[in-house]
Amino acid sequence: MCKGAMLLSLIVSASIVPGSTALGAEAPTWAYPINPPGLTEAPDNDMPLRVPGSDATFTMRQINDLFFAPDWHPSDHPPMPDIVSKGRKPEVRACGSCHRTDGSGGPENARIAGLPVDYFVQQMEDFKSGARKSSVPGREPVEVMDHTAKAISKEDVATAAAYFSAIKPSPAISVIEAEQAPKTKVTGWHLAIAPEGGTEPIGQRIIEVPDNLEYFTRRDGRARFKAYVPPGSLQKGQQLVDSESGACRACHGPDLKGLDAIPGIAGRSPSYLMRQLHDFQTGARAGTGGDLMKPIVEKLSTEQLLAIAAYVASLNP
């Protein structure tokens, strides 16, 4: 980010007592969802599926194939290189499968659309070297990135970086201050609205869920999300971003949309933002920028980090 930029013994539940965490204050469980045992992707089948605004059809068998990126909206991005659409078997998954063909990503991983090329390349180096880790081991998206970074060629990294850098990120998140949030379940390494419905006090959590889980599961890059945050979070977050010696805007740009080789953070998933802030704070993310980010965040409370993530997520990317 700033310049230069427990395997879990408890299964994370989004319905734990609001404001509490199974890991203590150092790792808010709502930001690090872990799939329950036995949870699988939707079963493979060959029934043609659709998403809104697309004439394409793909099957669940294709969607579940991580060496295939379902291209629902070809007009939303430049022509895809093979590393994005197919990957390199047997070890390098298609970038566009997990991160979507337009780089929009989701709460479980990262939006990579619009990342500066040099920053993109450096993050892959940090994953490869082990400098960029997660504070909470056992999350498959991070493990896949670790494995991919060790297997992918520099040429393919450069190709993917140039492709995603050319895509302008689109707004995808509505941030809502609320005393109550939907009850949720953990699925696909992120939260989703619980089948039984209902609400519960939000406590000190961000509850980020897809508007339509079915379409998001089909890897539709136009999927949208709602993020419920505690009342007052946006104002607190803005105050924190504007303080701290102005470091946030100095590095990430006055509008937080990026500056030179430093990435934009405006409009990102607040779950993702919270994980990165926490990982910088703990030193788990010690790669490029870590030495500059850690002093900024190391003394902030979980509540303060939450407010920053909520505010930054509410901005237009």
Residue in 301, 281, 298, 277 with CA at minimum distance from that of residue 31: 277
Q: Report residue 118: phi and psi, to 5°.
A: -60, -40
How confident is the model over 265-290, as a mean pLDDT?
94
Average pLDDT of the segment spanning 10-31 = 49
The pLDDT of residue 127: 96
Amino acid at 165: S
Distance (Å, whole) CA 187 – CA 184: 9
CA–CA gap between residue 119 and residue 130 (Å, rounded) = 16
State the CATH architecture for 60-165. Orthogonal Bundle (1.10)
Question: What mean pLDDT comes out for the span 142-148?
Answer: 96
- Mean pLDDT to the nearest integer, 166-179: 98
Distance CA 241, CA 308 (A): 7
Residue 41's pLDDT band (cuts 50, 70, 90)? confident
Report whether pLDDT(24) > 80: no
Give the pLDDT confidence score for residue 128 in this predicted structure. Answer: 97
pLDDT at 26: 76
Confidence of residue 244 (pLDDT cuts 50, 70, 90): low
Question: For residue range 214-226, what is the model confidence (pLDDT) as tens digits?
Answer: 999 999 999 999 9
Give the Cα separation of 216 and 173 in Å (integer). Answer: 13
What are 37's two structure tokens?
């045992």
Per-residue model confidence (pLDDT) at position 3:
39
pLDDT at 310 (0 to 100):
98
Domain boundaries, the chain: 29-38+170-313, 60-165
Nearest to 159 by CA among 211, 86, 230, 229: 86
Q: For position 21, what pLDDT does the model report?
A: 33
| 10, two tokens | 């408890």
Whether the Cβ atoms of residue 185 and residue 191 lie closer than 8 Å to each other: yes
The answer on pLDDT for 5 being more than 50 is no
Omega within 30 of 0 (cis) for the link into 74:
no
Residue matched to tokens 């991005």: 77
| Phi-psi category of residue 108: left, alpha or beta, with phi > 0 → left and psi -120 to 50 → alpha | alpha
Residue 64: is it exposed, middle or buried by C-beta count within 10 angstroms (0-12/13-18/19+)? middle
Across 88-102, average pLDDT: 97
**Confidence class for position 40, pLDDT limits 50, 70, 90:** confident
Domains 29-38+170-313 and 60-165 are alike in CATH topology: yes
Give the Cα separation of 85 and 100 in Å (integer): 9
What CATH homologous superfamily does 29-38+170-313 map to? Cytochrome c-like domain (1.10.760.10)
User: What is the per-residue pLDDT for 292?
Assistant: 86
* Predicted pLDDT of residue 182: 98
Give the mean model confidence (pLDDT) for residues 179-186.
98
Encoded amino acid at 297, one letter: V
CA dist 151 and 19 (Å) reads 39
Question: What is the band of 8 on the pLDDT scale with cuts at 50, 70, 90?
Answer: very low
pLDDT of 23 reads: 33
Quickly tell me which residue has 């992918």 as its tokens.
152
How confident is the model over 273-277, as a mean pLDDT? 97
